[in-house]
Amino acid sequence: MNIKKMLIVPVAAVLIAAGAKVGTMAAQDTSTSAASPDKKPDSKKVAEGEVEAKRLLLLMDRDQSGKVSRQEFMKFMEAEFERLDINKDGELDVKELTQARFTPHAGTHR
């Protein structure tokens, strides 16, 4: 099984979670800045999200331009969907998503 395909779902989940966390922290900071002006977002979590974003970019950026085009993104996600759709019914269910096997290998891409 292709390593980049095994990495995309956990990476995407981390990015979504990190993005949501950063967005929530930013909203909290804006709303509470008058009460505690020296409160800062958790830089460790922001850095972790950036690392995961860079890994995802390396997996998806087929032409090595440093950016992911819509075509690269859609091709990558289509291949990931096909891999996850175990029963090949054109839909993903909880069982397929929870049974997906992931074996992330640090520093491995393409």
Whether residue 107 is contained in a domain is answered as no
Q: Which domain holds residue 53?
A: 3-99
Give the predicted TM-score (pTM) of the model.
Answer: 0.52
Whether residue 109 is contained in a domain is answered as no
59 close to 7: Cβ distance less than 8 angstroms: yes
Q: Give the count of domains, the chain.
A: 1
Name the phi and psi angles at 93, rounded to 5. Answer: -120, 175
Whether residue 106 is contained in a domain is answered as no
> Residues 100-107: what's their mean pLDDT?
54
pLDDT tens for each residue of 3-52: 555 556 655 655 555 555 545 445 554 454 454 556 666 888 888 889 99
Residue-level pLDDT at 54: 92
> Residues 49-74: what's their mean pLDDT?
93
Residue-level pLDDT at 105: 42
Whether residue 93 is contained in a domain is answered as yes
Higher pLDDT: 81 or 41? It is 81
Q: Any residues with CB less than 8 A from the CB of 102 and at least 6 apart, and which?
A: 6, 7, 9, 10
Whether residue 110 is contained in a domain is answered as no
* Averaged pLDDT of the chain: 74
Q: Any residues with CB less than 8 A from the CB of 11 and at least 6 apart, and which?
A: 52, 55, 56, 59
Structure tokens of 13?
Answer: 């989940």
Whether residue 104 is contained in a domain is answered as no
